[in-house]
Amino acid sequence: MKSKEFRVVVLISGNGSNLQAIIDQVKAQQLPVVISAVLSNKADAYGIQRAKAANIDTITINNQEFTSRDAFDAAMQQEIDKYQPDLIVLAGFMRILSDDFVNHYLGRMINIHPSLLPDYRGLNVHQRVLNDSKTVHGVSVHYVTPELDHGPVFLQSQVPVKPNDDADTLAKRVQQEEHKIYPLAIKWIAEKRLDYNHGNLLLDGKPLHSPQFLHKVMTESDRQSGSH
């Protein structure tokens, strides 16, 4: 008997490179989900073309046509719920979501953020990391809660910050890790390895008190202490 399909709806606002990474993993049969629909608040988002090329339903709802955030979010929710998704995946969706929307999908919505949360919430992350002369940067996947970039983080990956980096070169290095960890994060949830229980996370049935790492950067202090 075929197991029930794990349905995902992806929300985007732009290029959709993380969406493409997810599509590629599904096509390669490495990710046991069905992408039911891709929703964008921008009709010209290139990610919409990526979805169409993969024969995925697309939804465009222009937030500028709504008088309030709540009204826009209610319209999104109405469209999303037609697909009865198991998981909402925010993949470069550049809108702050209303509490009602977030609470409707609480425990069923994840986001990827280009920093090692809780450091560097918000925008302009890569430049802020460079301004602070950090040597290690990275990316986080977390559950979405009403407070922006504050939901439980369960998977991270680190990258080195190189002496000649600018914001663009650093962003590209981080994005390469994004394309690896986001499909993996979705896979954990689809395979029921990861469970969200009232804000507490369980991985393989055990409490997850701190994020798992796909890659860690060996720092000078690590080398000196002999840790691995």
Which residues participate in catalysis according to the annotation?
113
DSSP letters spanning 155-213: EEEEEEPPTT--HHHHHHHHHHHHHHHHHHHHHHHHTTSEEEETTEEEETTEE--S-EE
Under a CB-based contact definition with an 8 Å cutoff, are residues 178 and 18 in contact? Answer: yes
102-52-67 Cα angle (round to 5): 40
DSSP letters spanning 82-125: TT--SEEEESS--SPPPHHHHHHTTTSEEEEESS-TTSS-SS-H
DSSP letters spanning 117-163: TTSS-SS-HHHHHHHTT-SEEEEEEEE--SSTT-SPEEEEEEEEPPT
The SS3 assignment for 2 reads coil
CA–centroid distance for 90 within its chain: 5
CA dist 17 and 99 (Å) reads 27
